[in-house]
């Protein structure tokens, strides 16, 4: 995402919308040499019979690709713990150990094992690769898919960080990997990228045969992230909090009913968000609609706390904030709407990192709301210029993401699996 892209897809993105290129469905993630059922691994975890590598497979796939909820009243039937644009399975994860690549098929609930034809791995090395498969997303959103993809990657990164906290292993993010030339070209042609790679120390687990390096490789570089503050938030959550996370989308349209958010709950959210953004270049703004002891209006979060910016007395304020879909949405009962701003975005060298971080912040916020029994929805279809006017932002600011929080209606036809 360069400056030309950002100038097109910030305030004026609705004017530049176009469909992308049709890509024939590929089978890379579903090719199979051998498979094992996830339930068998889950049973070993429950009986505390799993070794470290099996725990790694279980937690990584469980937090990113396993289907946890089916909802036939929703716009989208199958729900993992990692949200994605239009709920397409665009975020994939693989564990590469020695000569084998382990991937996952959500619909059959199988771990798929194939020969590693992707990255150069030395004996005993283990890697977690996070894929962004944008073959469908780019068709639906055109060039704008790059921004949506980066945000979805951030959501998944937060979940993978949580997964790694459940396993007693050391790990680090890679700055580069050697990838096969053949697969690099294949991925490029199918709009597949690997934005994140992690090296996991398993102490030479299960090294049984020599590694074959008879392929051509090219260097593949990765961005560097500072996750210290976000990593410290993982102990706030249990797996049940992630499973409870819901956007409450219904096919017939959305009506949000009133249920005030307590001052105590809201200030606890603000505290954790403030701790997280201190080490980032992101600013947070809030439209508060229904939080006890807070008057309706716009607020800015700084190092000291929330600062009141401007007021509004209209309970239909959401209509001015929302750019599209007014005929399908009634947001009069929302509690608050959080906006993530990038100040002086033209000066930032690696904007990809910032969008990853916004995705992680959104996952933190939405999971925390689920912990308290509320729902949330991450949105990009807001009116940038209107929000900037209300909070005093200018042309050097880019509002990259938003999260709206509201009562969990509990009436969607969900069942958990």
Q: Does one domain contain both 200 and 263?
A: no
Residues 6+ apart with CB under 8 A from 384: 10, 11, 399
Residues 6+ apart with CB under 8 A from 191: 23, 133, 134, 135, 137, 138, 145
Please state the three-class secondary structure of 45-57 as a single string. Answer: HHCCCCCHHHHHH
Give residue 251's pLDDT band: very low, low, confident or very high (50, 70, 90): low
Q: Which pLDDT tens digit goes with each residue over 338-371? A: 999 999 999 998 899 999 999 999 999 999 999 9
CA angle 113/91/114 to nearest 5° reads 10
Asked whether residue 227 is assigned to any structural domain, the reply reads no
pLDDT computed for residue 13 by the predictor: 80
- C-alpha distances in Å from residue 128, one per residue of 62, 81, 91, 102, 313: 14, 18, 13, 10, 49
Which among 222, 247, 267 is the end of a domain? Answer: 222
Q: Does one domain contain both 118 and 211?
A: yes
pLDDT computed for residue 374 by the predictor: 93
- Which range marks the domain in which residue 291 is found? 237-416
Average pLDDT over residues 164-193: 90
Question: What is the pLDDT of the chain when averaged over all its residues?
Answer: 87
Asked whether residue 275 is assigned to any structural domain, the reply reads yes
Q: Does one domain contain both 197 and 248?
A: no
Tokens describing residue 184: 């690099």
Number of domains within the chain: 2
Q: Does one domain contain both 274 and 406?
A: yes
- 239 burial (CB, 10 Å; 0-12 / 13-18 / 19+) is middle
Asked whether residue 230 is assigned to any structural domain, the reply reads no
Average pLDDT over residues 92-113: 92
**Between residues 68 and 35, the one the model is more confident about:** 68
pLDDT computed for residue 152 by the predictor: 96
pLDDT computed for residue 411 by the predictor: 52
pLDDT computed for residue 87 by the predictor: 82
Question: Which of left, alpha, beta for 238 (phi over 0: left; psi -120 to 50: alpha)?
Answer: beta
Dihedral (C-alpha) 82, 169, 50, 93: value to the nearest 10 degrees? 30
pLDDT computed for residue 30 by the predictor: 66
Q: Which of 217-226, 272-281, 316-325 has the lowest mean pLDDT?
A: 217-226
Give residue 290's pLDDT band: very low, low, confident or very high (50, 70, 90): very high
Q: Does one domain contain both 276 and 197?
A: no
C-alpha to C-alpha distance for 140 and 63, rounded to whole angstroms: 26
Asked whether residue 231 is assigned to any structural domain, the reply reads no
């Amino acid at each position: 995402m360069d400056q030309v892209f950002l100038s097109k897809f910030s305030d004026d993105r609705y004017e530049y919308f176009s469909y992308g290129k049709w890509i024939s469905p590929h089978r890379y993630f579903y090719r199979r040499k051998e498979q094992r059922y996830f339930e068998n691994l889950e049973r070993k975890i429950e009986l505390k019979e799993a070794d470290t590598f099996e725990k790694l497979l279980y937690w990584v796939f469980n937090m990113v690709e396993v289907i946890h909820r089916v909802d036939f009243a929703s716009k989208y039937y199958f729900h993992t713990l990692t949200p994605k644009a239009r709920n397409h399975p665009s975020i994939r994860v693989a564990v590469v150990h020695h000569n084998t690549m382990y991937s996952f098929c959500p619909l059959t609930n199988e771990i798929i094992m194939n020969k590693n034809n992707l990255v150069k791995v030395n004996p005993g090395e283990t890697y977690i690769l996070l894929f962004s498969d944008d073959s469908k997303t780019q068709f639906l959103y055109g060039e704008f898919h790059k921004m949506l993809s980066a945000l979805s990657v951030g959501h998944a990164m937060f979940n993978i960080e949580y997964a790694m906290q459940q396993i007693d292993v050391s790990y680090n993010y890679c700055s580069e990997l050697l990838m096969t030339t053949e697969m690099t070209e294949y991925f490029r042609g199918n709009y597949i990228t690997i934005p994140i790679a992690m090296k996991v120390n398993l102490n030479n687990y299960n090294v049984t045969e020599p590694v074959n390096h008879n392929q051509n490789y090219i260097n593949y570089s990765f961005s560097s992230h500072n996750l210290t503050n976000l990593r410290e938030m993982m102990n706030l959550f249990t797996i049940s909090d992630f499973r409870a996370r819901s956007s409450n989308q219904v096919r017939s349209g959305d009506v949000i009913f009133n249920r005030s958010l307590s001052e105590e709950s809201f200030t606890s959210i603000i505290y954790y968000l403030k701790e997280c953004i201190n080490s980032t270049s992101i600013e947070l703004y809030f439209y508060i609609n229904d939080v006890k002891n807070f008057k309706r209006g716009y607020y800015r979060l700084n190092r000291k706390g929330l600062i009141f910016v401007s007021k509004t007395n209209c309970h239909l304020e959401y209509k001015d904030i929302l750019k599209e879909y007014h005929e399908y949405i009634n947001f009069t009962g929302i509690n608050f709407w959080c906006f993530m701003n990038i100040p002086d975005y033209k000066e930032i060298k690696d904007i990809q990192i910032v969008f990853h971080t916004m995705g992680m912040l959104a996952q933190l916020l939405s999971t925390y709301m689920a912990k308290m029994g509320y729902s949330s929805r991450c949105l990009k279809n807001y009116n940038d210029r209107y929000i900037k006017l209300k909070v005093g932002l200018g042309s050097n600011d880019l509002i990259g993401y938003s999260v709206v929080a509201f009562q969990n209606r509990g009436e969607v036809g969900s069942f958990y699996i």
